[in-house]
């Protein structure tokens, strides 16, 4: 049998090992060093505004530190997009705060600005102003930046942008990760670029970055001995993995192009299949890196469900996966309030993520196309 086709697998550029060798040669085998600084500078240049970036051990760590810097603590409430990966919501629980989940809208599949405002008004009426809003650029698609920002500003609540899936995406030409009070990036093995595992916090002031690095390195006060007046974390990025990141930054633009070409491939493949729509940008203001390409299947029209397609793919060792199961439907968050309707739930019911890697070959694309045509009788 042919090799497994993955949803999204690591894709090295070529120079990653060069940076790792430099680290070994200089004995910078530590969670600090030239690769960490270099990777941060590469990201700052790429994001193309005067942001300050702190390289961390994970995107989850970045979200956690963003919440801490927004002053989120025990008993607080934080608004969170329901349709997302659990890593968006978990750090709210780390702080002993309560996630308040909000539905998606149909254009970008991200947080619905109308349900968001309803949620804020109702939480305020119930006695607590939410401390932050966690909005996600799902699968690389920018959320409705202007509408979400307007609601946040109206109630003076900071936005934490989960851009873990959206490095390389833009809204009106501006890079995702730079719109919120903080932005979180991820370099996990399945993301558009990887450091094997890692993340970064995008800040807008040196002070915010310094605070993140301070907290990420065990919160040591300025003293010759170990002195602490804050709870610290071990969240800094290793100089070895940062070397992978520097190599990956050299090819990021190619990776964005290749993922977008995969999306075009699916647009063409499904063009003649009724009842299947490929997720794409609602208007020219949105530019998605198409980290994952996803489809919605209307079983009444298509005559097949997303499970039919998923299981058919599985037979041929082709990985596909239902969209994120909304957080308000997860057992662990059963006690959290939820605002909105059934948009996220319907997306979860009928949506499927398809193999989207930047390293897929023509032969693999043909295997995918043959399977799709077989399932839909084309
Ligand atoms: C991957 C991901 C994260 C977490 O990033 P890690 O680097 O794996 O900790 C958070 N949010 C979303 C939406 C993600 O896809």
Domain count, the chain: 2
Tens place of pLDDT per residue across the chain (378 aa): 579 999 999 999 999 999 999 999 999 999 999 999 999 999 999 998 799 999 999 999 999 999 999 999 999 999 999 999 999 999 999 999 999 999 999 999 999 999 999 999 999 999 999 999 999 999 999 999 999 999 999 999 999 999 999 999 999 999 999 999 999 999 999 999 999 999 999 999 999 999 999 999 999 999 999 999 999 999 999 999 999 999 999 999 999 999 999 999 999 999 999 999 999 999 999 999 999 999 999 999 999 999 999 999 999 999 999 999 999 999 999 999 999 999 999 999 999 999 999 999 999 999 999 999 999 998
Rounded Cα distance between 361 and 369, Å, is 12
Instruction: Decide: 197 and 145 in contact? Cβ < 8 Å.
Output: no
Tokens representing 336 are 């959290």
What is the spatial distance between Cα 133 and Cα 50, in angstroms, rounded to a whole number?
23
Task: Confirm or reject: Cβ of 186 under 6 Å from ligand 1.
Answer: yes
Residue that finishes a domain, picked among 199, 230, 251: 251
- Look at residue 207 and tell me if it is in a domain: yes
Angle at 171 between CA 159 and CA 352, to 5 degrees: 85
Domain termination site, one of 251, 270, 291: 251
> Residue 243 domain-assigned?
yes
Residues 244 and 344 both lie in one domain: no
Regarding whether 208 and 162 lie in a shared domain, the answer is yes
Quote the domain boundaries for residue 267.
253-375
Joined together, the tokens standing for residue 373 give 């045509």
59 lines ligand 1 (CB under 6 A): yes
194 Cβ inside 6 Å of ligand 1: no
In a shared domain, residues 51 and 139: yes
88 ligand 1 Cβ < 6 A? yes
| 4: in domain | no
Q: Based on the domain organization, do 40 and 117 belong to the same domain? A: yes
Residues serving a catalytic function are 191
Hey, which residues does 147 pair with through a beta bridge?
A: none
Contact (Cβ atoms closer than 8 angstroms) between residue 198 and residue 56: yes
Q: Are residues 73 and 148 in the same domain?
A: yes
* Same domain (yes/no): 246, 271: no
The b/e string for 254-267 (b: 16+ C-beta within 10 A; e otherwise) is ebbebbbebbebbe
The span from the CA of 77 to the CA of 127, in Å, is 11
Q: What are phi and psi of 247, to 5 degrees?
A: -65, -40
Q: Are residues 119 and 212 in the same domain?
A: yes
**End position of a domain, from candidates 192, 226, 251:** 251
Are 237 and 28 in contact by the 8 Å Cβ rule? The answer is: no
> Ligand 1, closest atom to CA 198?
7
Q: Which atom of ligand 1 is found nearest the CA of 136? A: 13
pTM of this prediction? Answer: 0.97
**Same domain? 276 vs 202:** no
- What does the block give as tokens for 28? 């910078």
Q: CA-CA distance, 202 to 182, in Å (whole number)?
A: 6
| Alpha carbon distance 233, 212 (integer Å) | 10
What's the CATH code of the domain at 314?
Answer: 3.90.1150.10
| Ligand 1 binding pocket mutation candidate from 57, 64, 165 (most atoms within 8 A of CB) | 165
DSSP-derived secondary structure letter, 131: S
**Residues 62-101: tens digit of each pLDDT:** 999 999 999 999 999 999 999 999 999 999 999 999 999 9
Which atom of ligand 1 is the closest one to the Cα of 87? Answer: 10
**SS3 of 229, please?**
coil
Tokens of 346: 């319907």
Q: Are residues 186 and 290 in the same domain?
A: no
Beta bridge partners of 54: 201
């Amino acid at each position: 049998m042919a090799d497994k086709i993955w949803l999204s697998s690591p894709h090295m550029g070529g120079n990653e090992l060069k940076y790792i060798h430099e680290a070994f040669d200089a004995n910078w085998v530590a969670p600090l060093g030239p690769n960490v600084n270099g990777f941060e500078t590469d990201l700052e240049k790429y994001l193309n505004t005067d942001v300050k970036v702190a390289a961390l051990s994970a995107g989850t760590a970045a979200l956690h530190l963003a919440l801490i810097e927004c002053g989120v603590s025990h008993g607080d409430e934080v608004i969170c997009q329901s349709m997302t990966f659990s890593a968006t919501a978990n750090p709210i629980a780390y702080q002993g705060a309560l996630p308040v989940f909000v539905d998606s809208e149909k254009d970008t599949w991200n947080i619905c600005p109308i349900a968001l405002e309803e949620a804020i008004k109702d939480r305020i009426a119930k006695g607590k102003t939410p401390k932050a809003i966690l909005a996600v650029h799902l699968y690389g698609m920018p959320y409705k930046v202007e509408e979400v920002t307007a609601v946040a500003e109206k109630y003076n609540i900071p936005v934490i942008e989960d851009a873990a899936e959206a490095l390389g995406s833009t809204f009106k030409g501006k890079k995702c990760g730079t719109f919120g009070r903080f932005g979180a990036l991820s370099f996990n093995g399945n993301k558009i670029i990887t450091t094997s595992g890692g993340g970064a916090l995008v800040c807008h002031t040196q002070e915010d970055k310094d605070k993140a690095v301070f907290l990420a390195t065990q919160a040591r006060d300025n003293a010759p001995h170990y002195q602490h007046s804050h709870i610290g974390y071990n969240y800094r990025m290793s100089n070895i993995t940062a070397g992978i990141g520097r190599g990956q930054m050299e090819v990021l633009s190619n990776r964005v192009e290749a993922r977008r070409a995969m999306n075009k491939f699916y647009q063409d493949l499904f063009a003649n299949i009724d009842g299947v729509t490929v997720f794409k940008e609602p208007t020219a203001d949105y530019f998605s890196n198409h980290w994952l390409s996803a489809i919605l299947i209307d079983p009444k029209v298509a005559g097949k469900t997303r499970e039919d397609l998923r299981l058919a793919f599985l037979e041929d060792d082709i990985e596909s996966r239902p969209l994120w199961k909304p957080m308000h439907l997860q057992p662990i968050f059963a006690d959290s309030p939820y605002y909105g309707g059934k948009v996220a739930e319907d997306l979860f019911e009928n949506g499927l993520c398809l193999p989207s890697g930047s390293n897929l070959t023509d032969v693999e694309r043909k295997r995918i196309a043959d399977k799709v045509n077989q399932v839909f009788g084309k």
